[in-house]
Amino acid sequence: MRKPTGRKKTKIEKMKNQNNLPATFSKRCDGLFKKASEFSTLYGVEIAIVVFSPSKTIVYSIGHPCVLSVVDKFLNPPPDTNSPQPLTKPYQNKDVTKMDKLIEAEEKRALRLQSTNTKGSYEGLNYFQLQELSDTLEAKLKMTEKV
C-alpha cells in the first residue's frame, strides 16, 4: 500500500508541458480567489484581482465589494482631508529643535571668539582659541555638507 504524501509546495515556474497549462491554471486561479476572499473577510479590506487565462480569451475577476468600485477608487482616489499627520513629522520637529540649539551654541561661541579678537584678525588668538575656531569651522563645514 502506498503512503500518502499530503500537500506539497509547488514551485512557481514556467510549465514545460503546454497541455497541462489550462488545468493547472484553473486550479491555481481558484486558490488565488479563495485567498483573496479570505484576506478581504479577515482584514476588512477592499480587494480586486483580475487574471487573464493562458489563451488570453477569458478574463477572471473577483472583487470585494465589487471589482469596478475598487478599480475606480484606485484610478480616482478620493481627497483625504482628515488624514493624520505622518509619523515622520514629530521626528522632523525634533531634528529642527536640535539644529536650532546647535546654531544657538555656535552663535554664542562665535560671539566669544569675536570678543577676544578685537583686532579683526586671527593673529591675537592663542593656540587653544585657534583650535576652537578650527573645530567650529570644521563642524560648520560638516553641517553644510549634510544639508
Per residue of the chain (147 residues), give pLDDT as tens.
Answer: 677 777 777 777 888 888 888 888 888 888 889 999 998 999 889 999 999 888 778 888 888 888 998 889 889 887 765 665 566 666 677 778 888 888 898 888 888 777 665 555 677 778 888 888 888 888 888 877 776
CB 49 within 8 A of CB 63: yes
CA-nearest of 31, 26, 28, 66 to 47 is: 66
* CATH of region 18-75, choose from 2.70.150.10, 3.40.630.30, 3.40.1810.10, 3.30.1360.120: 3.40.1810.10
Q: What is the 8-class DSSP label of residue 76?
A: S
pLDDT tens-digit profile of 22-61? Answer: 888 888 888 889 999 998 999 889 999 999 888 778 888 8
Give the largest Cα separation in the chain, rounded: 104
Amino acid of residue 110? A
Helical residues (DSSP H) of the chain, grouped into ranges = 21-43, 67-75, 88-116, 127-146
Q: Compute φ and ψ for 60, nearest 5 degrees.
A: -105, 140
Give residue limits of the domains in the chain.
18-75, 88-146
